[in-house]
Chains A and B, each alone.
Chain A
Amino acid sequence: MAKRLAILDADRCVGCQSCMFACARRPGVGGLSASSIWVRSAGGIRKGYVVVVCRACPDPPCSRVCPTDALPMRPGGGVRLKPDLCIGCHNCAEACPFGAVMWDHEQNKPEICVYCGYCASYCPYDVLALEEIDDPLATGFTTPTPSPEGNVPHAEK
């Protein structure tokens, strides 16, 4: 089963950024050049914090807009980055409604969450957890299944 990060309760977030530093530290360096998780204030610190991280969409818009197929879908939801194919066009970052495609300015490539949960292990207040995605396509409605030729009606034939 694929995993993803869950935001259990952003109201418990104190803005310590331990998660961000953990993500950046994973390859063994310090600083914050690249982190796949981001914490910012919800309009000033008086109002608390917003935690932004990839939610491993079942049909990820970032993947759909990539002109070089550098963001293939991961089985179960979310995407993987193929850095060799990426041309740094920013389409993926602009397509994500959560702003969860962060940018590595040193590499000029998107910083894509690998759903490893390292950040969650440094959250002192249980805001984050790594969870299994049970049924990414679960919905209360029946969605039309696209026909193999697409949705264009067959006017001829």
Chain B
Amino acid sequence: MLKNDPLSRVLTIDLTRRRFSVDERPELFETALGGAGVAIRLLEEECKPGTDPLGPGNPIVLAVGPLVGLYPIASKTVAMFKSPHTGNLGESHAGGRSAVAIRMAGYGAIVIRGVSTSPVYVAIEGGHVYFRDASALWGLHSAYTAGTIMRQRESGAGVRSIMRIGRAGERGVSYASVITETYRHFGRLGLGAVFGSKLLKGVTISGQRSLPVADRRAYRTLYDALYKSATESPVMKKYHELGTAVNVLPLNAMGALPTRNLQSGHFEEAEAISGERLASEYLGRRVACAHCPVACVHLGTLRLAYPKEPYFYKTSMVGYDHEPIFAMGSLLGGSDVSSMFQLLDEAEVQGLDVMSAGVTLAWATEALQRGLISVRETDGLELAWGNYPAYIAATQRIVSQPNDFYRALARGADYAASVYGGADYALTFGKNEMPGYHTGPGCHLGYLTGARHSHLDSAGYSLDQRAAAKGETLTPDGVANDLLEEERWRQVLTSLVICLFARGVYTPDIVLKALATVGFDWTADDLTRFAADTLHRKQAFKLREGFDPSALRIPKRILETPTPTGMIDEGFIRRAIETYAQQV
């Protein structure tokens, strides 16, 4: 690492004492790069065994990496914390302006400790940290409004990040999100509830500085090559044209689009919610994260008439991607786009992870249909496939929690099923709700074994699709090893906070070249060792906090619904989990 790179500075903010300090930690970044690598090491230091995820001892770690602010598509922030949703490792990544803002403020990582005595938001302006009273913002109906207020009060337009929570985070919904720049999120595993437990309404970050490079000519040459592949390479094309919603139709055609709580992998109305249809009829704007020419963020236009007021309309911009479309579209059996957008917008207003919320609502719908619960539990709401008014009302109740049933839903599908039954069709993996792929054993094994129980850990869906396309037979050991290899490499990418959409651009060779320009003299072997070590640390943290791979619950539903690779066999899954756990 270059001596004068501010990356090595770790800002620690203590909400209990309302103090902050900056530590120089060059050795930390020299050995762990940034992002996931640095965050897991800071989490090891900060989070004691058995920490209450919603107590003052749970730290919030935000880490960026050496390539941020220097190269395109390296603009993610990795958050680590103990998850109130799974009771174990919490790791969530967000883009927007967050990473560039943290880097430009002069830090490689930020640690937030303690708990405030009254609602607060923290404004970081370069070397200054302000604790702003947020008691008037607490309880605001909409997370959008909280963002607007912070935007109006703070400086740094253009280069700032505004992270905030909605009421879901304030009220401790275990899958509450932290929203950044309106359309990006630390969505998964409940960082919003950790913010809420600390009475932390938000964090704004801004700054401006130059960053040193080792060799100016090499830097500019590599930049141009990366920029060219980011804008012209076919591997990036799908993200900037239709966006991730391009996946809806192909997944549906192969029978891998989870539909009506995965009672089917085929949604007969998929065309209505496809990326193609959304682009032609609803796409209103595309936006980008800081320093990313791809602009994968797709915003749909929602125009609503006021029912009792003629000639009054409200026009909103609603972000959409494959996962929200799956979770609040096909999985809920809904294809009316305007209604689906309203539900997605409600999740944003409340500050909920749309994936966990959608999967939880899908479980509740089936539980109601099967008579495990009645409208007494649902507070009179007739949850039924495609009944969006009921889903919108239920989403509000998940946050307001008027009765025990909604208090259970506020802890996710796994917990709700533990109270009311229906675990066979509660689609959670390691207690985290499933993503939008039912391609075969690979995807589900990825959700089960991945350190954050995310499709992004190891992309098992691509193993399935390759096997299905080539007619190859998957084996438990083969899948386990492939997942492990992919998850390890992704530790490198997420430590450099490179967006995983650019994984085809940032090959190992390019990563080493980029590192050299910022003074990291690493070899391919160094990367391999670092990747294995980082994943090992994450898994060790999980084991320490009680994670038991052999006790992972496999929802029966995934074994009952055919996939493009055929029926999934439970023995296959168990065997692969075992292999993965031994190897990691």
Contact = CB atoms under 8 A, between A and B. Distances in A.
Contacts of A28: 213, 216-217, 219-220
B295 A25 contact: no
Interface stretch (A9-17, A78-86, A141-149): A9-17
Contact of A29 (B151, B183, B210): B210
A44 interface: yes
A106 interface: yes
Contacts of A30: 69-70, 210-213, 219
A16 B164 CA distance: 21
Contacts of A105: 208
Residue from the set A25, A40, A48 with the largest chain B CB neighbour count within 10 Å: A25
B182 A25 contact: no
Nearest to A12: B286
Nearest to B147: A44
Interface in B130-153: 147-148, 151
Contact of B293 (A18, A29, A32): A18
Interface in A1-51: 14-18, 20-21, 24-25, 28-34, 38-41, 44-46, 48
Nearest to A34: B210
B103 to A, nearest CB: 8
A110 B474 CA distance: 62
A124 interface: yes
B299 A46 contact: yes
B158 A39 contact: yes
Contacts of A106: 209-210
B290 A29 contact: no
Contact of A45 (B70, B72, B183, B213): B183
Contacts of B285: 48
A40 B158 contact: yes
B210 A33 contact: yes
Contacts of B103: 31
B220 A31 contact: no
Contact of A32 (B208, B220, B223): B208
B287 A15 contact: yes
A77 B157 CA distance: 28
Contacts, number: 97
Contact of B104 (A31, A41, A44, A48): A31
Range, interface on chain A:
20 to 34
Interface in B199-235: 208-213, 216-217, 219-220, 223, 227, 231
A31 B211 contact: yes
Interface in B275-325: 285-295, 299, 316-317
Interface string B493-527: 00000000000000000000000000000000000
Residue from the set A16, A25, A30 with the largest chain B CB neighbour count within 10 Å: A30
Contacts of A14: 286-288, 295
Interface in B161-190: 181-183
B341 to A, nearest CB: 13
A38 B217 CA distance: 25
Given A25-B220, A46-B299, A106-B210, A18 B158 contact: no
Given A28-B216, A31-B209, A31-B210, A18 B291 contact: yes
A44 B151 contact: yes
A25 B181 CA distance: 25
B368 interface: no
B390 interface: no
B216 A41 contact: no
Nearest to B103: A31
Contact of A15 (B70, B151, B208, B288): B288
B159 interface: yes
Nearest to A48: B285
A38 B158 contact: yes
A33 B106 CA distance: 11
Contacts of B291: 16-18, 21
Contacts of A125: 295
B210 to A, nearest CB: 4
Contacts of B212: 29-30
A110 B212 CA distance: 21
Nearest to A24: B210
B209 A33 contact: yes
B295 A31 contact: no
Given A16-B293, A25-B220, A46 B211 contact: no
A124 B293 CA distance: 6
B247 to A, nearest CB: 21
Nearest to B317: A46
B183 A32 contact: no
B176 to A, nearest CB: 21
B365 to A, nearest CB: 31
A25 B554 CA distance: 51
Contacts of B183: 45
Given A28-B220, A29-B210, A18 B227 contact: yes
Contact of A31 (B69, B182, B293): B69
A52 B483 CA distance: 46
Nearest to B230: A124
Nearest to B289: A16
Interface in B79-108: 100, 103-104
A14 B295 CA distance: 6
Interface of B: 69-70, 72, 100, 103-104, 147-148, 151, 157-159, 181-183, 208-213, 216-217, 219-220, 223, 227, 231, 285-295, 299, 316-317
| 5 interchain residue pairs of minimum CB distance | A28-B216, A40-B158, A16-B288, A30-B211, A30-B70
5 contacts: A30-B70, A32-B209, A44-B182, A105-B208, A125-B295
Given A16-B293, A31-B103, 11 more contacts: A16-B290, A16-B291, A16-B294, A17-B288, A18-B291, A31-B208, A32-B209, A34-B208, A41-B158, A124-B231, A124-B293
